[in-house]
Structure 1
Amino acid sequence: MKDVNVADEVTRAAVELFAAQGYANTSVQQIVEAAGVTKGAMYHYFESKDDLLFAIYDRMLSLQKSRLDEIIARGGPTDVVLHDVCVDVIETSIDFLPEGTVFFRSMHMLTAPRQQEVTRRRRAYHDEFSALIERGQSEGRYRTDIPRPVLIANFFSDVHYLSHWYSPEGPEDKSVVAEQLTDLFLSGIASSSGRSDG
């Protein structure tokens, strides 16, 4: 195995094992055996099992944050930008469904510094997302009768709930699901003057 693939193989094996038997019940030995690498090779990339769990989520979060930044940097009308951001976070969450499922199930087992780092990273994403909604509110596009944190929680609860019902093998195409959930969210936050149902 090429050295560059070690981290990917270890991560893949860890996700599968954590999903099947839980983070607490999975040993480093089981991970390296499933990955087909030595402990020394694993420890070259990951300091501990805790470090590995964080890396699983870090990969997904880093991708979503860079995609968010790209979409915002493209510019355009607020409703188009927010639509594209919502679709992207749903699609990438589906792409990383096993990683997300494992992480949310096991996040409380991270060390305190790692938990704080996750909170900081997620807050950075949510702050940019919130700024988009705030911009739309100032333009009269989105409702202001419900606090912004509630609007944001409404959207991300749908994203975090995906692992409970979505199956890549099922009939629902990820792009269709992303558009449908985004449409439901944007319709729900549209200001009365901005809605087309009146």
Structure 2
Amino acid sequence: MKTKLEQRQTSIKGLLDAALHQFVSRGYRSTNLEQIAGAADLTKGAVYFYFGSKEAVLIALLKRVQTAVFDEAIKAVERAGPTLTDKLVAFLHNAAKLGITHRDEVLLLILMSLEFKDRKGKVRNCIGDIYQRTHALIQRLIRAGQKSGEFRIDVPTRELAAIVMANHDGTFLEWYRRSDTLNGRDLVRALRSVVVSGLGRPENAARAQPRRRAAGGASKRRRAGVRKST
């Protein structure tokens, strides 16, 4: 038999899980406490008892998102190395893993960032804090990579980080929309390829280009020599 504490924890988890599904499928504004309570097989009074308001439910969910999304990203980046490219790839791979293990949590963050963009208050501040910390992490990696010579310096760090995050969120939404037709592993490989090559120094790509052309020219000369000899 469960203790009162265990019953409380079970009820809170049930309400948060139900709210997560409702907010993602309906949106925050179109979801009411009765729907959350009904989905959790509890009463509306239970929601008020544990949280007090719909806003408090969302904030509790966003705190759970911060643990799943940002805290895990920090751990993944810290474990990776030795290069800054390795650390950035670790961030992207962690995001891909979240698409399987915490899909709705990541989707909630993205959707609520849009729904609360022009609304002031605790929810917007909470969302902004998660994104701000994530942007700061990416900017720190890119800035270090620029100093080490790994990443391009012809575009400001802030804008490069913004594009990385745009690819991060956009790829997740594309996977959510078309997961039945897309290959997840190939999608992650494409994301990694686009981001890493896009951050690379242009002069490195330019130096690689003549080598490919030279190799092609040598091949043509060899073929021409074969034709002459025959």
* Aligned AA (1:131): R
Counterparts of 1:1-198 in structure 2 under 5 Å? 2-74=7-79, 75-93=81-99, 95-97=102-104, 98-108=107-117, 112-162=121-171, 164-167=173-176, 169-195=179-205, 197-198=208-209
Deviation sequence 1:122-154 (CA, Å, 0-9, x none): 212211211111111111110010111111111
Deviation sequence 1:63-102 (CA, Å, 0-9, x none): 2222222123325221111111122124325632442454
Contact 1:32 1:38 in 2 (8 A): yes
Alpha-carbon distance in structure 1 between the residues aligned to 2:109 and 2:32: 20
Alpha carbons of 1:114 and 1:17: their partners in 2 closer, same or farther (altered >3 Å)? Answer: closer
SS in 2 for 1:149: helix
Count of residue correspondences: 198
Higher relative contact order (CA 8 A, sep 6+): 1
Deviation sequence 1:40-77 (CA, Å, 0-9, x none): 43345433211222333332232222222212332522
Q: Using the TM superposition, give the Cα deviation of residue 194 of structure 1 relative to its aligned residue in structure 2, in angstroms.
A: 4.1
Deviation sequence 1:140-180 (CA, Å, 0-9, x none): 11001011111111121122224543237413343432232
* Structure with the greater alpha carbon radius of gyration: 2
Alpha-carbon distance in structure 1 between the residues aligned to 2:166 and 2:37: 34
Alpha-carbon distance in structure 2 between the residues aligned to 1:148 and 1:158: 16
Q: Aligned-pair RMSD on alpha carbons?
A: 2.7
Unaligned runs of 5+ in 1: none
**Normalising by structure 1, what TM-score?**
0.83
Which deviates more from structure 2 when the two are superposed, residues 169-178 or residues 124-133? 169-178
Match of 2:220 in 1: none
Alpha-carbon distance in structure 1 between the residues aligned to 2:163 and 2:78: 25
Alpha-carbon distance in structure 1 between the residues aligned to 2:137 and 2:11: 34
Contact 1:91 1:174 in 2 (8 A): no
Which deviates more from structure 2 when the two are superposed, residues 5-14 or residues 31-40? 5-14
Contact 1:67 1:88 in 2 (8 A): yes
SS in 2 for 1:76: coil
Alpha-carbon distance in structure 1 between the residues aligned to 2:186 and 2:125: 34
Alpha-carbon distance in structure 1 between the residues aligned to 2:91 and 2:130: 17
* Aligned AA (2:32): S
Contact 2:142 2:151 in 1 (8 A): yes
Identity score, percent: 20
Alpha-carbon distance in structure 1 between the residues aligned to 2:129 and 2:194: 28
* Aligned AA (1:183): S
Which deviates more from structure 2 when the two are superposed, residues 139-148 or residues 105-114? 105-114
Alpha carbons of 1:118 and 1:150: their partners in 2 closer, same or farther (altered >3 Å)? Answer: same
